[in-house]
Chain A
């Protein structure tokens, strides 16, 4: 079963147009809700039943998040879509924006209906110029066709959405940094509490969901929470987009049922490229701990199963590493990324990510010292749990994971001043 939810227009010519979306039943869920006056509680109940969990990486149950909103209270509220998609390896939201933007708009409108918001913002990653244009065009089409605006489908419900192009910072994928950025400030996470459901965009109650999460909503409304749940496993409902990259024959985005064995996914991708052996998998974007290949072959692709294996499903970015990859080199690159992307606000992350990167650079270039491995472990540990946002964890977890499984390669680098494996040997 593939391409039934977020990619359901993908088989069409110009799948991003309003016409294409209408041909697969687009905007019918919103119409049904508004014309039949389905109470918001019922929809939230369906979303809870579907076991849809946040597709941005944290995996928080969407229905539960919506129920935190004080939707009966007076005053402005906002729905914000997080299309910042900065996690290395992830490119699924980009393709939703490119190929099925209307479904996201419909999802935002339904979410707005459920939480009592009449305005939505879609924060799009700075580098996504083409997806941004597609989405903006879709907004225009939807507005002209009356799917956005006042008194939708003759109801009392008003809803409009706007897009906001980011400036190219990974940290703006963190939801409160994203809010700051929309407000025109420097993208830095806010200390929580207060949480966005109470004090969000411009200080108003706000729900922030990932692109894929919101784009799944119209289908859940159309086919029911149970239908969606049955595509996955209990507590892990639905289909999921996986962005597979690395040493496989057909890297790309795959929409498959939650709980599909990793081995099947690897097969869909045409198996390992050039016949090399699978060495390791980073299963959920660069911040999730690495899992050795043979262990991964027994894992199914869902939140609980990957967590049991010691990592996270995260954003669904599956990075495949073959046995020619030097793990020291891989981690050095990742650590450099987190040093670049730390916002600099809080001490452990600002100073710690730089330190990690410096040590990794040294080991990678043959200047490592015996005590460096313990030091890496210590610094990573000192960052974790002590920062304002999760970027500290994101930078530390790969270090912890790589050291857990591939300590010998680090030791080899320090002892021999070159790689244990692969073309990267120095």
Chain B
């Protein structure tokens, strides 16, 4: 620590810290535009010039390291003269369009011009005008307003890992742009709007729909992936107008993904269900809540064999809803409860940890020295996790992938094993064999025999050596592998690899609240019985519930045709059922076709609740926006259902009561907001019955970035981005040649008896003999299992 003096005040600062950081910490305001604590220092705006004793010139506080005994004055005549002259320079070419500028009211330039500007301009020349650029559906440009701080450029370079924006031209004709006209395609692109200190970059979705002083700030949590990024959902008259990031250094730093920023648009979709509906004699009629609930409960009561009732729930609803849903189900006597919508191999479920998590904090990922990701398109699935891994990589971490597709990474990938889904188990055997050969501990029974026939390459050896040599390393199971047919076998190998290389076994889970689902007991195979204790139960998992065609289903937050691994199988089961109740915020033809009652529940932002992220952090939030129509928060609906079923313990006054009951069941204090990150390593259990390697063409399904949940699917701007263009079947050129197919050719995709019309896109990132046809999109809704065999037939 060193001591410096700022404006006569003694300030403690860390060695190597910049002056501006020390001043910020001491609460001394220094104006700035280009400086941002999460970006590199450019020292180019010169707004933070201050007087430093013995320095021959005013010094930029953002780029001047503190030194013991340094005497600084940020407000002397000398410092002010420098700051005021910079402000004048910035203003001479800045348009006076604050009244029509979206940034007005939250503009750094506007704000600092009050303190440092003059009310009279000495500049009498023509102001610079810059042509606006179209950089895609998300971000509007008004580049005449640009003050060239280059935060957006540095963000692309340093955080997004895509140098999409740059400064072209020199002097006062310097412009920010893409050089060649193109859209900004980073999954984190919207952050440049938050970063822009002026109105040069604003949200195409939100602009002109409010003045910033009309907006109410609401701390909220992003609900589109398992990270739980902190955000501020800003509302006007109870409607979300804009979502911006909220700093949380242990989770998302200063950033949120575009999905978290723009999904709110889906809340206003025409598909929103505003009133309860009942199907009578094949026709839908609106109903009162009382009637609809009574009808639903009575119909379920009519099912005498309660094991014929099953419920599947979205992994992206609040923990409160999950807890009450399983409580209702267990109260009426069924354990057929699941939230694992895309999983197909449940053989290892009794070894599942308390909750499948990272085993560390989200920010800790950036401190890893090595990682291997198995079946994960992390950048698009959990963009903030992609960011943390990229930060680790920039610090030298060796990050490798075992994937069926060579996904675009925005960092240096150490090793990439791109292999068909049916071969991935074998690939993991190779890695396990290397780990076994390096390990001094005894081998688990059967492992040596299991891996004896596979051949090891130098690259596999190197990959494992990097894991073993690192002080901190991870073996990460992504959502793609979790949906694969041999998941339980692959997981046990991954666990062994992690064990042998002294790495953490981590999960990246589907949806926003898989952790919450596990902790609240929304599982068929276990339930809480006492404080922190579980007992095994014998309910059916998602796959079995639909395969066995039950008599009744409760669908909670589900779009059957888009949320499930095998939509056709599920639809058939619903058609066959006596009674189906859907609790949903949206209504579609498919939901109507499969249900008998539809109850409108709130989306996450319309209800109070709690999400538990992949690191076990419990984050509670209040309702942000007004409920649509007569829709109600799910926990309230479930409370009434519990009462109508006459189940004990449904007298909750608030969602806090619900979450506190769950916390107590988990032996947590009410004030605790973190679950212990249990070690994830599994007990070795030699896998059996591995499905045979197939020579047929296999489908690769990934829930694509803007198809993850019902809200995101209806966010119009996101659906116009490059990443959303997934209604295609991607194959590599070798397979195209073999099947005599061409790029952009229309084909029929066929899985068993199910077909879909798609166009071919030739992409050599797809592994041999596989068709990448992402899940969750419209084209895939008439198809079968995500990793089943598939045929492509020219139309």
Contacts and interface: CB of A to CB of B under 8 A. Distances in A.
Interface stretch (B133-141, B163-171, B483-491, B552-560): B163-171
Interface in A316-366: 339-348, 350-355, 358-359, 362
A181 to B, nearest CB: 13
B390 interface: no
Interface residues of B, number: 37
Interface string B75-108: 0000000100110111011000000000000000
A348 B125 contact: no
B45 A169 contact: no
Contacts of B125: 355, 358-359, 362
B174 interface: yes
B82 A191 contact: no
Interface in A26-42: none
Given A191-B41, A347-B44, A386 B86 contact: yes
Contacts of A346: 43-46
B41 A386 contact: no
A347 B33 CA distance: 11
Contacts of A193: 65
Interface in B110-129: 122-125, 128
Nearest to A170: B170
Contacts, number: 96
A347 B93 CA distance: 11
Contact of A375 (B47, B93, B122): B122
A352 B89 contact: yes
A348 B169 contact: no
Contacts of B86: 347-348, 386
Given A191-B42, A347-B44, A382 B89 contact: yes
Main secondary structure of the interface of B (DSSP, over half): loop
Nearest to A375: B122
Interface string B136-175: 0000000000011000000000000000001101111110
Contact of B170 (A344, A375, A385, A388): A344
A388 B167 contact: no
Contacts of B56: 385
Interface residues of A, number: 33
A351 B92 contact: yes
Contacts of A191: 41-44, 60, 63
A351 B90 contact: yes
A171 B166 CA distance: 18
A354 B89 CA distance: 10
B244 interface: no
A174 to B, nearest CB: 13
B167 A186 contact: yes
B170 A347 contact: no
A9 B60 CA distance: 48
Interface string A43-66: 000000000000000000000000
B688 to A, nearest CB: 54
Contacts of A347: 44-47, 86, 89-90, 147-148
A385 to B, nearest CB: 4
A187 to B, nearest CB: 9
Contacts of B57: 385-386
Contact of B58 (A359, A385, A388): A385
Nearest to A384: B57
A249 interface: no
A387 interface: yes
B172 A340 contact: no
Contact of B173 (A344, A348, A355, A378): A344
Interface string B157-201: 000000000110111111000000000000000000000000000
Nearest to A367: B124
Contacts of B166: 186
Contacts of A369: 124
Contacts of A351: 89-90, 92-93, 172
Interface string A250-277: 0000000000000000000000000000
Given A347-B147, A386-B57, 9 more contacts: A171-B170, A339-B171, A344-B148, A344-B170, A353-B171, A355-B92, A386-B58, A387-B46, A388-B43
Interface of A: 169, 171, 186, 191, 193, 339-348, 350-355, 358-359, 362, 369, 371, 375, 378, 382, 385-388
7 contacts: A345-B148, A347-B44, A350-B148, A351-B90, A382-B88, A386-B49, A386-B58
Shortest 5 CB-CB distances between A and B: which pairs?
A344-B174, A382-B85, A354-B172, A342-B171, A351-B89
